[in-house]
Amino acid sequence: MKRCFFLIGLLFVIGVSSTASRAYATGFCCQLSSGAQESLLGTQAPGGGRVSLQLSYSYTLMDKFKEGEASRSLAGIESQGKYTIIPTRMGMTRYTLTAGYGVTPRLKLFVSIPYVRNTMDMQMFMDMGMGPQWMEHHMDPLDGLGDITVLALYRVYQDSDIRPTGILAAGAGLKTTTGEYRQRGSNGRFIHAHMQPGTGSWDPILALSYTKLSRKFLLQGDASYEIATRNSEGYAFGSSITADLTGKYSAGELLNLVGGVVFLHQSRSSDSKGRYTNPASLIDDPANTGGDSLWLSPGLEILPLKNTVLGAKVQVPVWERVNGVQLVASYRLLFSATYGF
């Protein structure tokens, strides 16, 4: 039974540091850069006076196009003639260290520190002396410290003081501005807002989590709302809502099977000063940001040592509806190691 209570606090990333994390295809690049899919609810909630540490890795591949709910081809977008710069492949890697501390048995504090590395390939319509033609271009990787997030989670209800099987927790937090958001290209203009390691905005976060536990099963529902604010350069990434339902089954002393479904909504971004906007670039047009998506998330957890959990899962989009035309994700991979002491 003690092992079951240790598992109550082990949720997968929603959304980095699952505000996954903040991990998803409504213009998935928008959600990753804003942190909408990384939730600190995805970390072990330590007991009073105890500490938990989680190191996680996530990789997201974006290599297909959507317009609304319909798939689009690169050739079709090129033939429209609206954009002369079109991203064709984006890879977003995030390493996150999250620490949790149990101030009391009911109050938990978390801090999440991400390191981000983003890559992008694109097609550019250029004239190199042989007439205008589409040419492939590889952008130098952008990496650095991301936006640090802090969260307080309070247990507002439990169905029993001893060995509770139903727990309701509410939380509030803040995504800070530690990540660089003003990196410039060789032309002196800001690099794509959604490729920058940080957002430059202070974004409040509200969260709610309910856990139901039995001897073999754990069912957890989470919801979070991130209120996006505008950074000093006039860019706002769009507020986001994440809802996650995760089930876990204890298949043995050392193994848990995990399955979940995640819904994500992100509002359209806006650029009031136009410093990140380029009407000729698909990824730099704020009209091509935001939307809704639904993801399936199977995975497993291994418990090799006391108070230690190794996790792995894949997230795959099963439905998407985006604003404008967007490069969206094919999948997201997540691995984590958690230790409590």
| Residues 12-45: b if buried by 16+ CB within 10 A, e if exposed | bbbbbbbbbbbbbbbbbbbbbbbbbbbbbbbbbb
pLDDT of residue 16: 31
CB 264 within 8 A of CB 245: no
Report, as an integer, the average pLDDT of 118-137: 88
Contact 271, 287 (CB under 8 A): no
Q: Ranked by mean pLDDT, which of 15-19, 131-135, 299-303 comes out on top?
A: 299-303
CA-to-CA separations, 249 to 169, 219, 308, 316, in angstroms, rounded: 22, 9, 17, 21
Q: What is the rounded CA–CA span in Å between residue 15 and residue 42?
A: 10
Share of the chain above pLDDT 90, in %: 75
Q: Which domain holds residue 208?
A: 2-340
Question: Tell me: the pLDDT tens digits for 135-177?
Answer: 999 988 999 999 999 999 999 999 888 888 899 999 999 999 9
pLDDT attached to residue 209: 94
Question: Who wins on pLDDT, 6 or 16?
Answer: 6
Distance between CA 300 and CA 56 in Å, rounded? 14
For residue 77, name the pLDDT band (cuts at 50, 70, 90).
very high
Confidence (pLDDT) at 132: 85
- Domain of residue 29, CATH code: 2.40.160.40
pLDDT at 66 over 90: yes
Residues 6 or more apart from 180 whose CB is under 8 A from it?
Answer: 144, 145, 196, 197, 198
Average pLDDT over residues 230-257: 95
For 96-121, what is the mean pLDDT?
A: 95
Region 47-71 average pLDDT: 93
> 312 has which bridge partners?
300, 335
235: pLDDT strictly greater than 50: yes
The pLDDT of residue 43: 52
Q: Is the dihedral of CA 67, 225, 9, 151 positive or negative?
A: positive
Structure tokens belonging to residue 169: 């927790």
Say how many domains are in the chain. 1
What is the structure's pLDDT at 131? 78
Number of Cβ within a 10 Å radius of residue 287? 15
Give SS3 for 194: helix
DSSP class of residue 41?
A: G
CA angle 300, 306, 307 (to 5 degrees): 70
Measuring CA to CA, which residue among 309, 313, 267 is closest to residue 290? 267
How far is 288 from 282, CA to CA, in rounded Å?
7
